[in-house]
Structure 1
Amino acid sequence: MLFDSHAHLTDERFDDDRDDVIERAKSEKISGIINAGACMKSSAASIALANRHPFIYAAVGIHPHDAKDAVEADYAQMEDWLRQEKKVIAVGEIGLDYYYDFSPKEVQKEVFLRQLQLAKKNDRPVIIHNRDSHGDMMEILRREAKGMQGVLHCFSGGLEMARELLKMGFYLSVAGPLTYKNAAVLPEVVKEIPLERLLIETDCPYLTPQPHRGKRNEPAYVRYVAEKIAEIKGKTWQEVASVTRENTLRLFRIAAK
């Protein structure tokens, strides 16, 4: 049974056929989906979606792209969700993105820090976005994330960064880019790190894996990521699916069904 540990099913690109996408996920034996928030609006929508579907769970958070719009009341609202909404299982997606710089770097770091503190206060794992910000990311995590649990989603760092994150207690998640022909560093990272510390995801509607690259991504395609990991590690895709599912349940404290 596969588990898509990171999706954005509330994205407008699913507005015309969201229910069909969810039904296809069920037909492909997807046992669970974590739908990540990126702003207050999408976080609220993620909760609503999770409350309608037993196998979907919600994460709430402010993405670095939206950090410039964060206000004080947002943190209080997120804390209310963490305490009152049973289907909210993590703070995310949060982090840093220096590729686009849609929000000033100092603002990104402040909003990221506030959400790490919120997760720590409420004893919740974090789902972390990191793009072209490895140095600042590791500096913040070394200083602020001791004793925390979480995942670097769609991991894009190198092997040394991966090893340090594993020592800190974090998991790494991989998505469609692992299947691309131009994937260079990521296959080596996947080969070297233990399967017991990996999660799989789609990040849909983004990062569609081969053989569907160029089309909209969806949870049913997470199997292609599992198959590529299996190829790299010399295992069956079913074994990869089983272990990564158990990893996801453990990290996010989700009861097995």
Structure 2
Amino acid sequence: MARSKGDNSTPPPVPEPLRVPVADSHTHLDMQDATPEEILAKAASVGVNTVVQVGCDIPGSRWAAEIAAKHANVHATVSLHPNEAPRIVLGDPDGWSGQKRGPGGMAALDAAIEEIDALAALPQVRGVGETGLDYFRTGPEGVAVQQESFRRHIALAKKHAKALVIHDRDAHEDVLRILTEKGAPERTVFHCYSGDEEMAKVCAEAGYYLSFAGPVTFPANHHLRAALAVTPMDRILVETDAPFLTPAPFRGRPNAPYLIPVTLRAMAQVKGVEEDEMAAAVAANTARAFDY
């Protein structure tokens, strides 16, 4: 049966290939419909020759390490997502996650962090994250757990000399404060950067990398384009966060690494540089940020 024109399940068309290969600095291969091999081949066909696979819980982090061990062009990060930490400690009383967990207490968080610690030591694991803070649907108890988990992930990144990948949603001030208090790792990446121009200047001064995703292409997000405009070229990364955050004009349809060229071309326009210059910069920056 043919899909209707407005069917949001239809994958966006394949964009024109990039002339200079780049990396998708943040994706979730395990959440996409195709096999990893199919996803990687489609991405490579448009010049996206490297991806960073992000683990958000214990099973996902194990899988990230396993898939990175099988593919030279896949690098892993491992973590307990900011929303995962409260579920481990406090359980899931409102059933939002659908996991219906009981509370495990801080002992359960300790055990989970120990496993992330072991995974972070693996050579194919290039980063610790996505960690950080997400205040979108978190109450006071959850905030306290998230902050403790974030501090422990910072310590792990420094212990293993790996990149720290930050998830920051509605929590800019506290994320920056904790990074300052604990001392940020040498290589710190703000995944799907969501701050404004002034925050971007603070991050640039601190030497943090800012990774821009599909939202930088959304017409209403002038603040993201203003932030990108003031971010130094040597601090910029590009990502999909696939299957989420599909760039305009395909918002709401399935995202995948092969759509990186759409976002990168929009970013080049904001920076006022040629596509090849933008691609060369983000490729070098991603390799430097994740030490591959």
* TM-score where L is the length of structure 2: 0.82
Residues 179-222 of structure 1: per-residue CA shift (max 9 Å, x gap)? 11111201111111211110000000000012322111000101
Q: What's 1:42 paired with?
A: 60
CA apart distance, 1:143 = 0.8
**What code does the residue aligned with 2:199 have?**
M
CA apart distance, 1:146 = 4.2
2:105 counterpart of 1:67: no
2:40 counterpart of 1:22: yes
Say which SS state the counterpart of residue 157 (structure 1) adopts.
Answer: coil
CA apart distance, 1:76 = 2.0
Kept after mapping to 1: 8 A contact 2:204/2:232: no
2:149 counterpart of 1:111: yes
Kept after mapping to 1: 8 A contact 2:157/2:185: no
Say which SS state the counterpart of residue 75 (structure 1) adopts.
Answer: helix
**Of residues 230, 243, 259 in structure 2, which corresponds to 1:192?**
230
**What code does the residue aligned with 2:288 have?**
R
Q: What's 1:91 paired with?
A: 128
**What code does the residue aligned with 1:138 have?**
L
Which structure would you say has the larger Rg? 2
Could you tell me which runs of 5 or more consecutive residues in structure 1 were left unpaired when the two chains were aligned.
none
Distance 1:221 1:131 in 2: 23
Q: What's 2:188 paired with?
A: 150
CA apart distance, 1:17 = 4.0
> What CA RMSD, in Å, does the superposition of the two structures yield over aligned residues?
1.5
**What code does the residue aligned with 2:25 have?**
S
**What code does the residue aligned with 2:203 have?**
L
Aligned length: 251
Kept after mapping to 1: 8 A contact 2:23/2:238: yes
2:289 counterpart of 1:251: yes
**What code does the residue aligned with 1:87 have?**
Q
Q: What's 2:72 paired with?
A: 54
Distance 1:59 1:18 in 2: 16
Distance 1:54 1:212 in 2: 30
2:242 counterpart of 1:222: no
Could you tell me which runs of 5 or more consecutive residues in structure 2 were left unpaired when the two chains were aligned.
1-20, 89-107
